Structures are given as structure tokens and as C-alpha cells.
Structure 1
């Protein structure tokens, strides 16, 4: 049965931060179970949004109808609205997912929005910088990790400058690739070692 990975979309959505992750979730190449996952975009409403890169995206579905039990993961990219009312419904949906034991992955500004909602107060996490999250007055500073990406239970967080590390955590959590394939994948994309490509081609 196909499982859906939901990607939150909103104006100023930072498209490049999650591109590598959703590409390899959506395409069957090298996957442990090809075709297991599909990617769907979810907006606050059905109205089109414009990404930071200028692309116009019409959401596949809306927050009010997405249920954690019908999803494999919720992914939240960075944005310029993380500290506004516009982002609050997405943070609330992330809370629902985590409460249901369904993973959430947030990168860049989205981590700030989750921090404001109290979702980083009891989980190890990372972001663009400790100072960035401290500026929102959250209670999770003692759990901040100065790492490119961090997974704690069902929450994945990543820094804006580490989309490859963020993607690796997502792919590992979803069990998209066998461990050896994921290692070769990261060798290619993370370490920029061409040997990783030839290892993948041999799969």
C-alpha cells in the first residue's frame, strides 16, 4: 500500500531545502520498496502559494483534512512566516503528528516556528544557530545540538545549510533505502565522492 509523505507549503516556502529529500522519496530508484511512498503538498487553504524561489504551487490537500494516521511524515521547510500567525496552523498540525507518533521533519525557519509552539522543549534538536532559537524565548535550549541535522524520537530538525544531512535523516527514518545504499547515497551527495555514484549504479 502506498504511503503519503506530506510536505507543508506556504508563501516563502524555501524550496531548495527539501528538494533532495522529496526527490528520493518520490522516485523508486534504489529504494528498498520501490513505489512505497508518494509525496503530497498540504496548504492552509487550497489557494496557490509562491515559494521563495518564485514557483507557484497549488496544494494537493489542506491541513483541515490531513490526519496523522493517513500520513507517513510531515515535512516543513524554512520560510519567512515562521514567527507569524500564518505558520501557527502548521505548527499545530506538527503537534498533532508528534502526539500520534507520526514523524515530523523541520528545517531552517520551520524549527523556529516549532520552538515557539513548545515542540522543541523536550526533544534534542538543531537549527540554524542556538542564538536563533533562543531569540524566541523557548525552554529547550539545553537540548540544542550544534549539528547539521538531529533526530530525536519522531522529530527531525535541520540547519538551513545542511539540506543533504537533513535529507539523510528523513530517508533513514522512513527506511527508504537499505543502510548500505543510504551510505553510498550520502557518499555521493554529502561527501561529494563520485565513488558513491558507482556504488549506487551497482545496486
Structure 2
């Protein structure tokens, strides 16, 4: 399986949303590569400057184990990020997982990718405002993994306040942690459970 994980980056990217997932995937041996609309630098909401490793036109599902789409203000202010949602469609069609959080879920909704898949987001009416047809598949949960069908890739979704739950689904899907160790990781970073540290590092 490809060991490269692609993280989409764009102006207004929400800094806090992908960090747990990318850090622990890297620790598990995955290479994290950033992909922008071009290779021009972008600036996150927090003002961090990121120079993308590659441009979106160079991104191929067959070179990737996962595409992560963070939230960002631009998802809700126009169509600038629509090409990233289109890339997500190509990944899912090729059987490669996609993980989207916060505003990126609205981008996927506009692309029609949530019409037939279990998913979540900030709140149901946030996605309803996109005019999508998948309201009956909305799940009121911190994070949701839809296993896909007919060879389509898995889709992970979460709302903006759940970066740890989002990472739990990503890390589990990618095999970074499994079973009791995945549960311990979540309890440590979500619940600040000191006992989980010993379990995670046993």
C-alpha cells in the first residue's frame, strides 16, 4: 500500500484540525506531503506560511494512501476550493480514502459526495444550506467513517471541534493504532486520562 498521505493546503486552512492526524501518521511511518492549488505559498488562519510540495494537477490517487481535506474559510466564500472536492471524487472513485473536516465537508456536499454516504459535520443545517441531497445520511456524531461500496474508498468526516475524534478515525483506518491502543490514544488526547499513557506505550 502507498505510504504517502496527502494533506490539502490553502489560504485560511484551519491549523488545529489536521495536526493530530498528520503527526501520528508520520510517527507511524507515513510520509506527509502537502498539495496546494499551485506550489505558491499559502497562509493558514493562524498565519503560518506553507509551501506546498506539489500542485493539485500533479496529485494522483494511485500515488496516495489518503487525502486529508482540512477546513478553511474559503470553503464557504466561493468556489476557489471546488477543485479539491473534485480531487476527492477521483480518490473515492479509485478506492483511496478521503478524510474531510469542518468546511471541507460542505465542499464534499456540494460535489455530491455525501448524498449516499454516512457522514457528519459541524451541524446538520450547515450542510443542508449547501442544497445537497444527503440529509438522511447525516449522523450526529463526533466523527464518522463510511466504509464505501462498490469499490469506492472510505470517507471520514468530522466537525471543526473534533480534531481528536477525526484523528482517531484516520489513525484507525490507516492502521497507525488498532484496538486497545487506538482507544488508549483517544482517551489520552481527548479525555486526558493518565492511565491511557501507560497503555499506549506498553
TM-score grouping bracket, smaller chain normalisation: over 0.9
After superposition, the Cα gap between the structure-2 partners of 1:2 and 1:123, relative to the gap in structure 1 and judged at 3 Å, is closer
CA distance in 2, matches of 1:159, 1:138: 17
Structure 2 matches for 1:14-33, cutoff 5 A?
Answer: 14-28=14-28
Matched, 1:67 2:60: yes
CA distance in 2, matches of 1:2, 1:141: 33
How far off is 1:180 after superposition? 2.1
**CA deviation string 1:69-114 (max 9, x = no partner):** 1100000001111142211110010000000010000000000011
How far off is 1:179 after superposition? 1.8
The residue that corresponds to 2:39 in the other structure is: 46
2:2–2:64 contact (8 Å) kept in structure 1: no
Give the secondary structure class of the aligned counterpart of 2:58. coil
Number of aligned residue pairs = 195
Stretches of 4+ aligned residues off by more than 2 angstroms: none
Higher mean C-alpha displacement, 76-85 vs 165-174:
76-85
Give the secondary structure class of the aligned counterpart of 2:127. helix
CA distance in 1, matches of 2:2, 2:157: 25
Structure 2 matches for 1:6-155, cutoff 5 A?
Answer: 6-28=6-28, 35=29, 37-83=30-76, 84-153=78-147, 154-155=154-155
Task: Name the structure where helix makes up a greater proportion of residues.
Answer: 2
Give the secondary structure class of the aligned counterpart of 1:45. coil
2:2–2:65 contact (8 Å) kept in structure 1: no
How far off is 1:158 after superposition? 0.3
How far off is 1:191 after superposition? 2.1
What's the Cα RMSD here?
1.1
CA distance in 2, matches of 1:193, 1:104: 29
CA distance in 1, matches of 2:177, 2:156: 17
Give the secondary structure class of the aligned counterpart of 1:106. strand
1:2–1:38 contact (8 Å) kept in structure 2: no
How far off is 1:175 after superposition? 0.8
CA distance in 1, matches of 2:21, 2:194: 19
Q: TM-score, normalised by structure 2?
A: 0.94
After superposition, the Cα gap between the structure-2 partners of 1:2 and 1:70, relative to the gap in structure 1 and judged at 3 Å, is closer
